[in-house]
Amino acid sequence: MNKLLISLLVSVGITGMAHATGGDATAGSQKVAVCAACHGADGNSPMGAFPSLAGQSSRYLLKQMQDQLSGARVIPEMTGMLDGLSERDMRDIAAFYERQTPVIGQTPAEMLELGKSIYRAGIADKGVAACAACHMPSGQGNNPARFPALSGQHPEYTALQLRKFASEERHNDPNRMMRDIAVKMSDAEMEAVAHFIRGLH
């Protein structure tokens, strides 16, 4: 059932959803100064606790900002950061980050085999779908479907989000897709796939 749902959502995302946020990346470059402290001037965060946004899907980024404002996703560090931004501002910011180039890290050798296996094939005996099914083989994500790009993301941030989905502290995933996957994973499996993603390209 999970595989069927994922396949349908990917297909709908590719063929049926709007393709862009309509934002202006040039205008967005003038609106991200306050974001740089945590996310880096070019969207590559210097700290593992904060996500890198460079190369991220604009539709996904826009949704996360909208969810933060509505309370659908609570990010304490973002409290007040979006206040005063218009819908146009958020679209421009999302477009700016989508145009940036992510910095890819390296996967530690001891995490490579398990992380690669989970990302590419999932965990069959636990019913965990392959990450690549939604986030694409190279981790570029699926912008029309609002599935985020993962390639180069900090492992600290990725593992934390998996734990938050597993505990349902984070619950803004469509149709419980991430919660239903993360709750079946061990901490070691989360860490391994998070480190694999850091070096994925």
Residue 141: per-residue pLDDT: 96
| pLDDT at res. 21 | 75
Which of 5-14, 29-38, 55-64, 163-172 is predicted least confidently?
5-14
Residue that the structure tokens 């965060």 belong to: 45
Note the pLDDT tens digit of each residue in 23-48: 999 999 999 999 999 999 999 999 99
For the chain, the average pLDDT equals: 91
Q: In the prediction, which pLDDT does 188 show?
A: 98
Q: How does pLDDT run across 87-137, given as a tens digit for each residue?
A: 999 999 999 999 999 999 999 999 999 999 999 999 999 999 999 999 999
**CA-closest candidate to residue 63, choices 147, 157, 131:** 147
User: Tens digit of pLDDT for each residue in 153-179?
Assistant: 999 999 999 999 999 999 999 999 999
The string of pLDDT tens digits covering residues 125-152 is: 999 999 999 999 999 999 999 999 999 9
Q: Average of pLDDT values for 60-86?
A: 96
Whole-number pLDDT of residue 158: 98
Asked if residue 6 has pLDDT above 90, the reply is: no
Q: pLDDT-derived band of residue 20, with 50, 70 and 90 as boundaries?
A: low
Domains and CATH numbers, the chain: 2-12+104-198 (1.10.760.10), 17-99 (1.10.760.10)
Local confidence band at 201 (pLDDT 50, 70, 90 cut-offs): confident
